Amino acid sequence: MTRRWGRILLAALVVVGAVLFAGYRVATDVAVRNVAAVDAAPVEEQVAVRPVANDCSGGYVVLTFDDGPRQHTDDLLDRLEALNMTAVFFWAGQNIEGREELVRRAVEGGNVLGNHSVSHPDLTTGELPNGDQVTPWGPEQIREELQRTNDLLVEYGAPVPQYYRPPYGSVNPTVDAVAREVGLRLVMSYGHDYADNLIDSHDTEGISPGQIVANVVGPMRAGSIITMHDGLGQATLNSIEALQAIADVMNERNLCATTDVRPDAGGRVLQFGE
């Protein structure tokens, strides 16, 4: 009698366990799963590469990285290549010196190089990252910032850039008019609202790889333009680490990476004031 009841109890536990597991699979959002996977997995598991390999029937997304080339750019290019991803990089001209070979490497890997100015000023005011103010500041200085970076990229092996992203997302009609004269089209790091489908990963805010994943994959869908950074230190390493989980979700949703930026990448920011 005891053995019989034991078998019945074991069978009941199996059924209950199966039901609970099924409920978990249904209720758990994919973004939350990937946060846990990235933040909790041992290092040896995180470095395993599962490339984007699907039929692309879900559409395409554009991965973008600002502020390079910097100390971790080689690592970032390695990871993108391993994951079968390409990206649009917005590089600052001042960072190219001493890293000129990365221009050709990025292009040969199928990536696109865009313009992020020379010295990373606020293009609307002329304020530099260290707080210094460029004086005077106007269309001539804006044009110089953009043209010099174009020239440097071309000198070291890139096609003439088609896109620009203003540092800090600071843009106004004057900046955009000068950029268009230089032959550059605006690709914003954020949009006016969800409909603009411009996704900021917030990777510069000291967040973990898992949090970067959650910020990206939650709203990620066909046509998304995703903003990440290739700057200094741990923030960039966290972004590189997040790419595997992002690739996993892209495979789940049949999304692939592209460097073809859709025409409405300006986020309508210029329609709503400076």
CA 140 to centroid of chain Cα atoms: 31
Q: What is the pLDDT of residues 211-238, one digit of tens each?
A: 999 999 999 999 999 999 999 899 999 9
Mean pLDDT of 189-204: 95
Q: Is the pLDDT of residue 242 over 60?
A: yes
| Nearest CA among 96, 30, 43 for reference residue 237 | 43
How many Cα atoms sit within 13 Å of 108 on the Cβ side? 8
On whether the CB atoms of residues 230 and 65 are closer than 8 A, the answer is: yes
On whether the CB atoms of residues 93 and 155 are closer than 8 A, the answer is: no
Mean pLDDT of 173-187: 98
Q: What angle do CA 106, 110, 112 make, to 5 degrees?
A: 65
pTM of the shown model: 0.85
3-state secondary structure of 199: strand
Q: What angle do CA 255, 258, 32 make, to 5 degrees?
A: 40
Residue-level pLDDT at 248: 98
Confidence tier at 271 by pLDDT (50, 70, 90): confident
For residue 73, give both structure tokens: 């750019």
Residue-level pLDDT at 19: 35
Residue-level pLDDT at 37: 57
Residue 3 host element (H or E): helix 2-27
Find where tokens 């043209």 sit. 147
Domain covering 35-264, topology? TIM Barrel (3.20.20)
Amino acid residing at 143: R
3-state secondary structure of 241: helix
Q: What is the mean pLDDT of the chain?
A: 88
Mean pLDDT of 253-266: 98
Q: What is the pLDDT of residues 24-59, one digit of tens each?
A: 333 234 544 555 555 655 444 556 799 999 999 999
Q: What is the pLDDT of residues 81-92, one digit of tens each?
A: 999 999 999 999
Within 10 A of 129 (CB to CB), how many other CB atoms are there? 12
